[in-house]
Chain A
């Protein structure tokens, strides 16, 4: 059987889901036998070089670059999985959805204790090199179709491992009750 090809991305996540993936520890050496990595922080491939079987997405969408990246993943992956609370529901970054974006920017750059008396020119970062921040933080399935969801913040290493093996081999995934949780 040909190796399944997988790709991973961190959008507006904290990278904890990728770290949890790393917590499979020595199984990482088995993983290389089971799958082939394409675009991912795991290797050197920045652009998709071929169609992938499985795309793992950490984090929701916070800015236009995240959206762009997610659309690219949908186009290039047969199966797309939202990994973790942020991808599934926006997670902690989505707490800002209750506050107007401008207020968040002003608090960070104009009103905070270490800036309010020294930002004389009232600068709020706005350089063209910086991506545009979205008005709200969006979970992935509000932008593209998502095929599977792996719960947890982050999902445990074991859950990530089992899901990958399942998707790579076509076996049935057992989701133990205690793994369905959001912390």
Chain B
């Protein structure tokens, strides 16, 4: 007697998701799918709007990391107004945007680690769901919970100072930025005695990583082997191979570390990337054309970035990067190590914020530039969750005529489906009863990729879950909700 298990809703990635798992007569997992169930149609309805609206409009696709969409579209529009392909802005223009971006990385990574990952780590994926959330953390370790709130707050305040608002700001405009950083704003981040201070944040980020490393020592087997499978990895890197989350060239390596995309200009991304459409998900499946649909899929995000980058251009994060590399080898395909990579990036973001705050270019009045108008532009950025592509074409009336986007979570579509399959098989094959812990384990694997809603739904706790067991004739045998 076969059965079908549904986990719903799982995650929001510009929409909600659900997992279905089909189990055959022998009790083996036959098929598993992560369905993305929401569709917006942005590519079409943005046509006809003036191009300068794009950076303000598109971010409303995702309120979890709006800054990423804001900046990726601003970078594409920079090309259209002739401000160059990523390096043509004024120093103030580029650095204000970088500060905004690293603020975003810092708040998003903190939120993800403390609110999402830590409960599973602290209490175990099969522990009491009532405790397995940030309120449980507050009860178990109040200091950690307060730190979590304040780290996120710091990142949000940086965004407010650069973009004007914490969520859906307007800082980036075609060819630059609409404000600089006042001395008073700067000092509020550098000199505050309370923890709202850049030096504190570097220290706290290190503390979070130490917490993780302590956990790793005791749970090496779980962290190393849970949902572990080979894949390609893609990200932007700076021209010299350094980690750079704001701008760079596209690089991808395969599961053994061989380069399969050789530091190419992302203006040409259409030469390298396509997306497959499947009938059961609104989210497409990107792949590298050179390797084909079957083999060309890749991972993006923290794990991928630390696989593609040669080094990290800030000292504390670089030291941690070296240790991480020496322990995990040249290419890291271990899903749960994404948390480790994410915390190293959190330190890097804090170091970058501190250094940028000390840069007097941020007080310059030279904010915007432009040049020869172009008909098409591509903007790519490393969002907290990975590489994010925006492309726009415009006509002579300044109206958008074509728009294409590949968002970070879409890039991770195939890997998340693999992860679901891996864990479903490992946990459920041949088992008579499906427990809450097994279902949560499936989500733990998805959660490592930090898909958008998961971070939102997890902000305070657990994703709601419902499973239905159905026999091959569609009869409902059992229903369970936690």
* Chain A interface (Cβ < 8 Å from any Cβ of B): 10, 12-20, 22-23, 25-26, 28-29, 32, 40-47, 62-63, 65, 91-93, 95-96, 98-99, 101, 103-109, 112-115, 117-119, 123-127, 129-131, 133, 153-154, 157, 183
Question: Does B338 have its Cβ within 8 Å of any Cβ on chain A?
Answer: no
Q: How large is the interface on B (under 10, 10 to 19, 20 to 34, 35 or more residues)?
A: 35 or more
Scan residues 28-80 of chain B and give those whose CB is less than 8 A from a CB of chain A: 33, 35, 37-41, 43-47, 57, 60-64, 66
Question: Does B406 have its Cβ within 8 Å of any Cβ on chain A?
Answer: yes
A122 to chain B, nearest CB (A): 9
**Which of B38, B57, B278, B458 is close to A92, meaning CB atoms less than 8 Å apart?**
B57
User: B481 and A46: CB pair below 8 A?
Assistant: yes
* 17 more CB-based (< 8 A) A-B contacts, given A41-B459, A118-B276: A14-B63, A17-B63, A25-B152, A46-B466, A65-B16, A65-B37, A96-B44, A98-B45, A105-B39, A107-B43, A112-B43, A117-B274, A118-B274, A127-B280, A129-B18, A129-B280, A130-B35
Known: A10-B12, A46-B466, A118-B276. A133 touches B404 (CB 8 A): no
Question: Please, which residue of chain B has its CB at the minimum distance from the CB of A113?
Answer: B404
The CA-CA distance from A115 to B12 in the complex, in Å, is 23
User: A95 and B18: CB pair below 8 A?
Assistant: no
User: A14 and B61: CB pair below 8 A?
Assistant: yes
Chain A residues within 8 Å of B130, by CB: 44
**Which of B14, B41, B279, B404 is close to A114, meaning CB atoms less than 8 Å apart?**
B404
Scan residues 135-158 of chain B and give those whose CB is less than 8 A from a CB of chain A: 135, 138, 146, 149-150, 152-153, 156
**In this complex, which of A32, A95, A99, A119 has the most chain B Cβ atoms within 10 angstroms of its Cβ?**
A95
The CA-CA distance from A175 to B144 in the complex, in Å, is 35
User: A119 and B277: CB pair below 8 A?
Assistant: yes
Chain B residues within 8 Å of A95, by CB: 45-46, 57
Chain B residues within 8 Å of A131, by CB: 37-38
Question: Does B408 have its Cβ within 8 Å of any Cβ on chain A?
Answer: no
**Which of B35, B41, B280, B456 is close to A104, meaning CB atoms less than 8 Å apart?**
B41
Chain B residues within 8 Å of A93, by CB: 40
The CA-CA distance from A113 to B61 in the complex, in Å, is 20
User: B37 and A47: CB pair below 8 A?
Assistant: no
**Which of B43, B135, B456 is close to A10, meaning CB atoms less than 8 Å apart?**
B456
User: A154 and B464: CB pair below 8 A?
Assistant: no
- How many pairs of residues, A versus B, come closer than 8 Å at their CB atoms? 198
Return the 8 tightest CB-CB contacts between A and B, nearest first.
A16-B63, A104-B41, A46-B464, A127-B280, A107-B44, A14-B63, A41-B457, A92-B60
Question: Does B324 have its Cβ within 8 Å of any Cβ on chain A?
Answer: no
B170 to chain A, nearest CB (A): 8
Known: A16-B66, A42-B460, A125-B277. A108 touches B167 (CB 8 A): no
**Which of B149, B278, B402, B482 is close to A26, meaning CB atoms less than 8 Å apart?**
B149
User: B168 and A154: CB pair below 8 A?
Assistant: yes
The CA-CA distance from A130 to B40 in the complex, in Å, is 14
Chain A residues within 8 Å of B66, by CB: 14, 16
Question: Please, which residue of chain A has its CB at the minimum distance from the CB of B18?
Answer: A129
User: B460 and A41: CB pair below 8 A?
Assistant: yes
* Partner-binding segment picked from B242-250, B255-263, B281-289, B364-372: B281-289
Chain A residues within 8 Å of B38, by CB: 12, 62-63, 131
Question: Please, which residue of chain A has its CB at the minimum distance from the CB of B128?
Answer: A44
Question: Please, which residue of chain B has its CB at the minimum distance from the CB of A126?
Answer: B279
